[in-house]
Amino acid sequence: MTKGAVFLRLVLTFILLLAASGLAAQQPGGAWDAVARSLGKPVPAAGKTYRATFPRSDLHVRVGTVAVEPALALTSWMGFAGSPDSCDVMGDLVLGEREVPLVIAALLDRGIDVTAVHHHLLGETPRVFYVHFHGRGAAAELAAKLHAALALTATPLGTTPPSTSAAPTRASLDTAAVFAALGVHGRLAGDVAQVSIPTSGSQVALAGRPIPAALGMNTAINLEPFAPGRAAAAGDFVLTGDHLRGVLRALTTASIRVTAVHNHMVGEEPRVFFVHFWGEGDPLDLARELRAAIDSAR
């Protein structure tokens, strides 16, 4: 091979490498990277769905003697499923009373459906409302619209959680025993034990698309310790209508208050109900009582 031919091959190889690197640079990152950036969140690991949370650490809510932690019942969230070009987003936003009309208007003006406005707690001070929503479209555009709605509220939008270094020492849970009593392994979010459980209302479709668990279709149970040997329990059961009476019976028999029975969606198939609850007592007793309701919900 002549020197000219060798030189020409080297030049062609260099050009091809440049072209390849340019194509690689144009390839999108993870499917949900643009969504995370629109929401001001860290880029997530790869996954079929993406879920973002916004704890209302700015709210100081009490139910009786219990100071409600964000992880117990005061975290706004949104879940995305589908593809970057065509996805569903669902979730609920935790709002103060004055924030509700601003957020509803902002969502509707941006083409996002408001599917429910209601409470999850009873007797809380100050009052808290929950606005549920559903949107369908390009994922990053939906995320930007939701971020704009949140920006109208006092919701902390930064990626750094507030410091808890000055917080007083709190009671703790024996999470292994709590999870064993519930019959399902969960996770610890700060001081709060959380479990997510498929129940009778977990398999639904909306406008022909199955709705995955990340979009709020599993039963959620949270327990927060607030004194030695005492915990508060809150969350919601996701049920089809034929399981509703059994779960209500199981909760009320155990002296766990039913705080709301309602819908979070419009037009889902089959129709599902969400039963919210509040309980206080020994953590293991609460877990065992909730286990009976879980069994009724399946």
Please write the tens of the pLDDT for every residue from 209-222: 999 999 999 999 99
How high is the pLDDT of residue 43? Answer: 82
Higher pLDDT among residues 23 and 203, named by residue:
203
Phi, psi for 249 (deg, rounded to 5): -60, -45
Q: What is the mean pLDDT of residues 37-51?
A: 88
How high is the pLDDT of residue 170? Answer: 63
3-state secondary structure of 78: strand
Does residue 5 register a pLDDT over 60?
no
How high is the pLDDT of residue 87? Answer: 95
Does residue 29 register a pLDDT over 70?
no
Cα–Cα–Cα angle for 40, 50, 147, rounded to 5 degrees: 35
Does residue 253 register a pLDDT over 50?
yes
Confidence of residue 104 (pLDDT cuts 50, 70, 90): very high
Q: Which of 143, 147, 97 is nearest to 119 (CA)?
A: 97
Confidence of residue 10 (pLDDT cuts 50, 70, 90): very low
What is the 8-class DSSP label of residue 241?
A: G
Q: Which of 264, 235, 39, 275 is nearest to 133 (CA)?
A: 264
Confidence of residue 20 (pLDDT cuts 50, 70, 90): very low
Does residue 45 register a pLDDT over 60?
yes
How high is the pLDDT of residue 35? Answer: 96
Confidence of residue 47 (pLDDT cuts 50, 70, 90): confident
Q: What is the mean pLDDT of residues 84-111?
A: 98
Mean model confidence pLDDT for the chain: 88
Give the C-alpha separation, 14 to 16, whole Å. 5
Higher pLDDT among residues 26 and 76, named by residue:
76
How high is the pLDDT of residue 150? Answer: 98
Confidence of residue 31 (pLDDT cuts 50, 70, 90): confident
Does residue 141 register a pLDDT over 80?
yes
Q: Which of 57, 60, 64 is nearest to 230 (CA)?
A: 64
97 Ramachandran zone, left/alpha/beta (phi>0; psi -120 to 50): alpha
CB 223 within 8 A of CB 288: no
DSSP letters for 44-71: PPP-SEEEEEEE-TT---EETTEE--HH
Does residue 9 register a pLDDT over 60?
no
Enumerate residues 6+ apart whose C-beta is below 8 A from 9.
1
How high is the pLDDT of residue 192? Answer: 98
Domains in the chain (CATH in brackets) are 30-157 (3.30.70), 170-298 (3.90.1150)
Give the C-alpha separation, 237 to 251, whole Å. 11
